[in-house]
Chain A
Amino acid sequence: QVQLQESGPGLVKPSETLSLTCTVSGGSIYSYYWSWIRQAPGKGLEWIGYIYFSGSTNYNPSFKSRVTLSVDTSKKQFSLKMTSVTAADTAVYFCARADVSGVLISGWFDPWGQGTLVTVSS
């Protein structure tokens, strides 16, 4: 079955750019939506945004000015870049897949990657 694996630096300095990649294995990257969701330590889940395999994107308005998602179908990867990070961006970052529902993204995420902890600190 499809598996997702996040990768990237575990430590980022304040004001710098956080960059993560999610690799899709065991399934196709085509005809799905791919999303990033984060969870600050001891806190709840926060949706960051999604990208369709074709490259169209939609972001949480809370992040819109700082976040860029991209996809590389040849590598079966999609990526997150978040600029101007602060300590408040310290979190476990999950990637996840969503199906197509009609002409929209479906209303749920499955499966999820295991998550990767990113700490923002000097």
Chain B
Amino acid sequence: EIVLTQSPVTLSLSPGERATLSCRASQTAGNAFAWYQQKPGQAPRLLIYDASNRAAGIPARFSGSGSGTDFTLTISSLEPEDFAVYYCQLRSNWPPIFTFGPGTKVD
């Protein structure tokens, strides 16, 4: 079973600052990797898929990178609406099992 670890647990920043969120997998499992943003009372929103591709409608300030076991989500300049919880998620190759990280809160 692949385990995802996100760091930090909480990231305290101000609007305009750069946010760097990390996610580490316990073992290599390809690049079927995604990032989601979740605000209170809402469903998660896909930000990044296949590790580095922005989903439709996602602003360019969001970028994803990484491969193997280490992945990063970067928000280049925080907007007020970006303060939320961010989850990473990995799909193993076979059988296709989905695992979510515990989340990083950006406040």
Q: Which A positions have Cβ atoms within 8 angstroms of B? A: 35, 37, 44-47, 50, 58, 60-61, 94, 101, 104-115
Contacts and interface: CB of A to CB of B under 8 A. Distances in A.
Contact of B43 (A44, A60, A61, A115): A115
Given A44-B87, A45-B87, A58-B95, A109 B100 contact: no
A119 to B, nearest CB: 16
A7 B65 CA distance: 37
Given A58-B96, A112-B44, A115-B43, A107 B102 contact: no
B82 interface: no
17 contacts: A35-B98, A44-B87, A45-B36, A45-B87, A45-B100, A47-B97, A94-B43, A94-B44, A104-B93, A106-B91, A107-B30, A107-B31, A107-B34, A108-B46, A108-B49, A109-B46, A112-B45
Interface in B21-80: 30-34, 36, 42-46, 49-50, 55
B43 A108 contact: no
A105 B34 CA distance: 13
A44 B46 contact: no
B interface, size bucket: 20 to 34
A106 B49 contact: yes
Given A45-B100, A46-B100, A108 B95 contact: no
Most chain A CB within 10 A, of B1, B33, B43, B46, is at B43
A106 B49 CA distance: 9
Nearest to A110: B46
A35 B32 CA distance: 16
* Residue with the greatest number of chain B CB neighbours at <10 A, chosen from A45, A105, A112: A45
A67 B32 CA distance: 25
Contacts of B87: 44-45
B91 A105 contact: yes
Contact of B91 (A46, A94, A107, A111): A107
